[in-house]
Amino acid sequence: MNKYLIFLVSTVFFMLFAGLYFVSLSAFNGEKKIKEDSLLAKIQKEKRLHVVLLDGKESFEYALLKEYADYLDVDLDITAVDSTKEALSWVNNTKIDIISAGITKTKHRQKDLLFGPTYLQVKEEVVCSRQIVQRKKIPRKIEELAGLHIMVSEDSSYSQTLQSLVDDGYDLSVQYAQGTSTQELLEEVADHSVDCTVANSNIYLKNLHEFSNLSAAFAISKHKELAWVLPKKEASLVKNMQVWLAQYKKSGKLQKLKKYYYTHISMSSNYRTKMFYKRMKTRLRRYEKYFKKYAKAYGVPWTLLAAMSYQESHWNPRAKSFTGVEGLMMLTRATARNLRVKNRLDPEESIWGGTRHIKYMLKIVPKGVKGEDRVRFALAAYNVGMGHIYDAQKLAKRMHLNPNRWSDLKEVLPLLSEKRYYCTLRYGCARGSEPVGYVEAILHYRDILENYLRLPLLAVG
């Protein structure tokens, strides 16, 4: 009997112990499973970051996302949208990891949305048509907006700002547009369909190269923070993002990225644009006939030649560089010799040589490059040499990018200055960042000139 009792007790204890073991093991596995099922773990396991993106691949937002994806060692999967409202409609979609649409952190939004760390501070700017500037009616404070037709997107942070001003008693004529993006509203202002709109300072700067007849009147808000929106149920990605962004800022890379996308554009679109307008009416008149003459002879738009020359020399025929290039088109001694240009400081000879040189670059751009990208590739080659463009294409292929698309090529061109890349390429080291800015600046000046020429009373010549 005692033996039976001992056996029974032993069996019960064994079963209890086994039960506790399996419960603890199950709890451990459950905890492990929860960790494995976190959003960050899912992204790393799938090797893919699913993003809703308002701006295209040539934007600051995309460049920053690409940097974060590289940090995670994953690929980007982009879902493109046309407005902030459309972007936020994806917030409950379980297939999306990040929403990137230049979204402002407001108290109202933070009640319902989970934001990542702040990556950019901006101000809301009142942006008006230059037609108002020409009439000397540019508003400089809120009271001076009275009587102007203002339009902003409905459900935007701008509409909240303006509505609060109306509630405070300011006499404003505001129209709230449904389903219209800030980009589209800036276009309406540029076309004089609307007097003014409101846009974040970064969006205004980004669009100046396309709509040169916009003018920032004044800031209507204090600094506001931009951040990505994430699924509210998940915090693992936010913590990871905070660590990455802190490191990215400390390295100075974030500042460089801002400088490239915003400071560079701001300089070329504010002070430089004003100077460009001024010199169109003075210096350009002296050389316009040569641009038109050789443009017709070689089938290159004269506005492109003029923009190239301005970027090279500011239409100063005696311009010289410490690298030895000189003249209106800043030809090197070797290039001038090959083109049979005897005097690089002679305006007509310089334009003649520069036209033939860009014509040749256009001819040898690889056949796979299509449309306007052929012009971009040729301009980059004019600046840095076609050999380095070929190298950049090879590097793009290695990085699984499209070697025939400018939006991809300009991502890899700056890498040509890094030894780990250029030592594996045929033509060696190059200051690859320069042709990227060079191309964007020329197309910016060309667009200004062509828009300017569409106004018959103001046309040059």
The question of whether 288 is a catalytic residue gets the answer: no
pLDDT attached to residue 268: 45
Stated pTM of the model: 0.51
Confidence of residue 28 (pLDDT cuts 50, 70, 90): very low
323-336 mean pLDDT = 90
* Catalytic one of 312, 349, 411, 440: 312
CATH code of the domain made up of 40-121+227-265: 3.40.190.10
| Residue 307 phi, psi dihedral angles, 5° rounding | -65, -40
Tens-digit pLDDT profile for residues 159-195: 888 988 988 889 898 999 887 778 788 888 877 788 8
219-223, 226-230, 247-251, range with the lowest pLDDT: 219-223
pLDDT attached to residue 109: 87
pLDDT attached to residue 223: 83
| Residue 24 phi, psi dihedral angles, 5° rounding | -65, -40
Confidence of residue 459 (pLDDT cuts 50, 70, 90): very low
Looking at every residue in the chain, the average pLDDT score rounds to: 84
Domain coordinates in residue numbering, the chain: 2-37, 40-121+227-265, 124-221, 276-453
Query: Residue 456 corresponds to which tokens in the numbers above?
Result: 């018959």
Do 124-221 and 40-121+227-265 have the same topology in CATH? yes
Residue 285 clears pLDDT 90, i.e. is over it: yes
Residue ranges of alpha helices (H) inside 153-282 are 157-167, 182-190, 201-207, 236-250, 253-258, 264-269, 271-280
DSSP string, 185-221: HHHHHHTTSSSEEEEEHHHHHHHTTT-TTEEEEEE-S
Residue entry with tokens 């407001």: 106
Of the candidate CATH numbers 3.50.50.60, 3.40.50.10470, 3.30.1330.40, 1.10.530.10, the domain formed by 276-453 belongs to 1.10.530.10
pLDDT attached to residue 255: 84
CATH code of the domain made up of 124-221: 3.40.190.10
279's CB contacts (< 8 A; 6+ apart) are 310, 314, 315
Position 146, amino acid: A
User: Three-state SS for 246?
Assistant: helix
d(CA 48, CA 444): 35
- Edge-to-edge order in the sheet of strand 48-53: 75-80, 48-53, 98-100, 229-230, 114-115
Residue entry with tokens 């303006």: 162
414's CB contacts (< 8 A; 6+ apart) are 432, 433, 436
Query: Residue 239 corresponds to which tokens in the numbers above?
Result: 């913590």
Confidence of residue 32 (pLDDT cuts 50, 70, 90): very low
92-103 mean pLDDT = 90
**CA nearest to 116, candidates 61, 182, 74, 35:** 61
Residue entry with tokens 């009142």: 126
Tens-digit pLDDT profile for residues 1-21: 555 556 555 665 556 555 555
Confidence of residue 396 (pLDDT cuts 50, 70, 90): very high
